[in-house]
Amino acid sequence: MILKEMPSYQTLLEKAERYPTMDIQITEAYLHVLRTGTILHHCVERNLSKQGLSYGRFMILGLLSRQEDPIPVCKLAELAGVTTPTVSAVLSGMVRDGLIQRVEDPSDRRVVRIEMLPEGQKILDEVLPDLFVHQTAVMSRLDETELKTLMALLGKVRLDVGKCSEE
């Protein structure tokens, strides 16, 4: 779901009266970040879908492309921010389609490692140029200083999000 329309300032005032812990400015900023992130995510999903690739597969290929050696399924799940069963379901189809392969860990046969095959890299090589064009188009109205400011501000927000997930 995407929040198509931001609540009016009047609506936020009414909510603040009802919920005293609400800070209008923080709520408004939070909703803007949430809406923007959701829209960006949906755009990427649509672009990948046009190229026959799911976001989950793209994420796994991207993570594997950064690894020099095969990595354990549990580590891949951790990097993707999902559970091991969730990532395992996606991996099965990717193995079937020849994008990745499972490799036994030589020191512990219970551990299964994943590595990207050349066909997986080929898909990334086809998809990433269009993704970079999309990113440039979306961010094109920001100059270098604004981009650095945006990254710094979002970095501060992201650091505080870790506290939320621990509570």
- Helix, strand, coil share of the chain (percent; to 5): 70, 5, 25
Q: What is the pLDDT of residues 94-136, one digit of tens each?
A: 999 999 999 988 888 888 999 999 999 999 999 999 999 999 9
The pLDDT value given to residue 120: 96
Q: What is the pLDDT of residues 56-71, one digit of tens each?
A: 999 999 999 999 999 9
160 burial (CB, 10 Å; 0-12 / 13-18 / 19+) is exposed
Mean pLDDT score of the chain, rounded to an integer?
91
pTM of the model: 0.81
The pLDDT value given to residue 164: 61
The pLDDT value given to residue 105: 84
